Amino acid sequence: MPRKSKKKGKQGKKGAGKKNDAAKKLAKRKGLEDVKRIAKVNAQIWEKRVEIAERVSERMQERAKQLADEKATIADVLKQTERDTIDVFAYLKKEDDTSKRTISKLNKDLCTSIQTHKKEKEELMAQVQENLNMLEEKLKHKEEDMLLLRRALSELIEFRDEKDMFNAKMRMMESRVTQGNVERQEIIEKMELKFFDEKLRLRQESIRSIQAIAEDAHRHVLSNLSLSIKKVYKQNMDMRIIIKYLKDQFNCMKQTSENLNQENKQLLLEKEILEATLSEKISEMKFMREKLKQRLNTSHLLFYRSSDTTAADPLWPLDIDYVRHRISGTLFTDRVCRIKDLTRPLELARHLQ
């Protein structure tokens, strides 16, 4: 019996050892497979890296070739530009030398021409100055001879023309004043007559209307006393309206009469102003006549003494015409404007008529 038990124990130990060996073998196999797989992956990675490195090296070689070619072309361009700049500088230097030579030549020519022109200018200035001195002396003598004659004759012509113009203006002003006074008086008389006729007509019409209203009221009172009481108020209102209208007409005519009186006063004032101006002009004419007589006495001898010089002077008729134009153009301008302003109300009254 004990022997049987020993055999059974040995068999159990052998079965357990076999199981452990199989597990170890399986573990070793799995480890080897993992190592193989990792090695395979690493080999693929290194292959990819090698391919990438080869591509990069190829690209770098191509870029280096391109840069070398560009460097060669740039060197050629630089050499060509240096040659061109050298040629340009040589050409510019040559042109500069030629321009300097031409400038120096032109400066010499300019200096010579300036000297010649200066000499000619001095000669011409001396000749012109000599001629001017001679002409100034002649002109001075001529002006001294003509000055007295022109003064005397200009004063004579001026006073003669002023005399004629004064006489004409005086006659014109007198005729205008007399005509204006007559017309103004006629206008005033006509307007006053018209005013009084209109006033008389309005009074007569008002009296007639009042009489007619009174007669109608009397007839109605006699015919029908009851109706007269009702119509009294209406007739009173009509009477008030008529009286108001007549008062307005009377005030309007009164205002027109006042305006006419004011215009009459203004015309009288203008008449006084015109008479004062006429008296002033008459006194001026008397004074100027006396002065003219004195000037004529003093300029009589000068006129006959300078008759020879006036005949030889071609500008003499031009000076006389200029003096006449000056006197006729500028003299009496303010006076004529003043007379027109004073006679304007007379023309307005004439148009109103």
Location of structure tokens 């206008």: 187
Domain contains 3:
no
Residues 219 and 343 in one domain: yes
Are the CB atoms for 163 and 327 separated by under 8 Å?
no
More confident residue, 201 or 222: 201
Residues 92 and 170 in one domain: no
Residues 180 and 328 in one domain: yes
Residues 212 and 106 in one domain: no
| 66 alpha carbon, distance to own chain's centre | 73
CB-based contacts of 192: which residues, under 8 Å, 6+ apart?
257, 260
Query: How close are the terminal C-alpha atoms of the chain, in Å?
Result: 189
Contacts 24+ apart (CB under 8 A), 327-330: 327/157, 327/158, 327/161, 327/162, 328/161
Q: What is the number of other CB atoms lying within 10 angstroms of the CB of residue 309?
A: 14
Percent of residues, the chain, with pLDDT higher than 70: 65
Q: What is the pLDDT of residue 235?
A: 67
More confident residue, 94 or 1: 94
Residues 345 and 221 in one domain: yes
DSSP one-letter string for 66-98: HHHHHHHHHHHHHHHHHHHHHHHHHHHHHHHHH
Mean of per-residue pLDDT scores for the chain: 71
Q: Total domain count for the chain?
A: 2
> Tokens representing 20?
């452990």
Domain contains 184:
yes
Residues 192 and 294 in one domain: yes
User: pLDDT band at 321, cuts 50/70/90?
Assistant: very low
- Measured CA to CA in angstroms, residue 325 lies from 154, 158, 228, 296, 321 at distances of 12, 11, 89, 22, 6
Domain contains 294:
yes
Lowest model confidence (mean pLDDT) among 159-163, 170-174, 256-260, 323-327 = 323-327
Handedness of CA 63, 64, 68, 71 (dihedral sign): positive
Residues 289 and 229 in one domain: yes
Residue 298 has pLDDT above 70, yes or no: no
The burial class, CB within 10 Å (0-12 / 13-18 / 19+), for 274 is: buried
Residues 236 and 99 in one domain: no
Domain contains 2:
no
Domain contains 12:
no
User: pLDDT band at 121, cuts 50/70/90?
Assistant: confident
How far apart (Å, rounded) are the C-alpha atoms in residues 23 and 17?
A: 10
More confident residue, 86 or 168: 86
How far apart (Å, rounded) are the C-alpha atoms in residues 330 and 318?
A: 18
- Taking Cα atoms as reference points, which of 148, 159, 149 lies closest to residue 307? 149
